Amino acid sequence: MSADERFVGNAFLQVEILVSAPCRESLLEILWELETLGCEETEGSEGVRLTAFFPASDETGRLRRQILSRCKEQGWEPLQLSQKLIHFSPQEWLDRYSESVKAFAVGDSFFIYPSWGDPSPAHPVNVLLDPGHAFGTGTHESTQLCLLALESTVPGVSTLLDVGTGSGILTIAAQKLNPLLSVLAFDIDLLAVEAARVNFLKNRIDGPNLFVGELGAVASQFDLVVANLTAVIIQELASEISRLARKYVIVAGFTGEQGPFVLDSLKEDFELLQTLSRNGWLCYKLRSWRES
Ligand SMILES: C[S@@+](CC[C@H](N)C(=O)[O-])C[C@H]1O[C@@H](n2cnc3c(N)ncnc32)[C@H](O)[C@@H]1O
């Protein structure tokens, strides 16, 4: 649903939350889950300040309680949280919303842009993505590292399994980079799969197969398995990943401290080819020992 479709009246609840930098992504997920209309972000010495907008409701205290309890569930608390009622005209709101979501390039190949922006003629692969409820707008380091690893790997493979596709961003980018690639994408989250389906349509790709479910349901092997999850989930899925990856594995979603544990879980079947890192986040590209 676009910002204008969700616009009701001209009153909004503006919630300003200050968090330490490592909590930023978790907070963004919480705000999208609570159906924010849009977020703005500024980074300073004291942390990251997220300003999120919600439709004004009669019971403004409920939202504050929901945000605080979700943060607590994740094991942290905001440094500050304040909220106020503000007024925008519909046009002011749309201008502000559009301004907060910018297009950006990843590597030499990929350009991620929102529906109100323009694709880039300078990049071979343009991915149209609007902010939504599924993870994978491309702004997170782990997604960008996966895109960089895909850029050098996808041209040399025929089949790809995208584990935890979220918004579908990695599948869309890979499929557009190599239109002959055969892709299977899935997620345990139905909402993510619905979002990915919409994004495939918006990007005019109909090649990838998509399902809601678990890795255990996948039977055939793939040249490349990409999994941007968490350190714990990758370790849990390591034997399944080994079963399904014929040549390469790209894993991300973990920090420098967690890296050795992830590597340990995959090292019996794969050798480490490349480590990519950005702002403390890591991505490994590995190759099956059978291929070396
Ligand atoms: C960090 S997001 C990655 C989204 C996207 N692939 C990207 O790179 O931006 C992780 C996704 O994995 C999904 N997920 C978590 N555990 C999973 C599992 N065991 N099997 C499949 N998907 C899983 C989540 O629902 C979420 O959509």
pLDDT at residue number 94: 65
Strands (E), the chain: 11-19, 38-44, 47-55, 80-87, 104-106, 110-113, 125-128, 159-163, 182-187, 209-212, 222-228, 245-255, 270-278, 281-288
Helix (H) or strand (E) holding 154: none
Compute the distance between CA of residue 171 and CA of residue 167 in angstroms, rounded to an integer: 9
- Nearest CA, atom 13, ligand 1: 164
CATH class of 140-291: alpha beta
Q: Whose CA is nearest to atom 11 of ligand 1?
A: 164
Which residue out of 215, 228, 282 has the highest number of ligand 1 atoms within 8 Å of its CB and is therefore the one to mutate? 228
Residue intervals of the chain classified under CATH 3.40.50.150 are: 140-291
Q: pLDDT tens for residues 94-139?
A: 677 667 678 999 999 999 999 888 999 999 999 999 876 556 678 8
Q: How far is the CA of 96 from the centre of ligand 1 (A)?
A: 30
CA of 76 to the centre of ligand 1 (A): 22
- Residues with Cβ within 8 Å of residue 33, at least 6 apart in sequence: 70, 133
Q: d(Cα 12, Cα 256) in Å, to the nearest integer?
A: 40
CATH 3.30.70.120 given to domain 11-100:
yes
From first to last of its 292 residues, the chain has per-residue pLDDT tens of: 344 444 445 788 899 999 998 899 889 888 888 878 778 888 888 999 999 888 887 666 889 999 999 999 989 999 999 998 888 776 776 677 667 678 999 999 999 999 888 999 999 999 999 876 556 678 888 999 999 999 999 999 999 999 999 999 999 999 999 999 999 999 999 989 999 999 999 999 998 999 999 999 999 999 999 999 999 999 999 999 999 999 999 999 999 999 999 999 999 999 999 999 998 899 999 999 988 7
List, by residue range, all CATH 3.30.70.120 domains of the chain.
Answer: 11-100
Strands of the 222-228 sheet, one edge to the other: 209-212, 182-187, 159-163, 222-228, 245-255, 281-288, 270-278
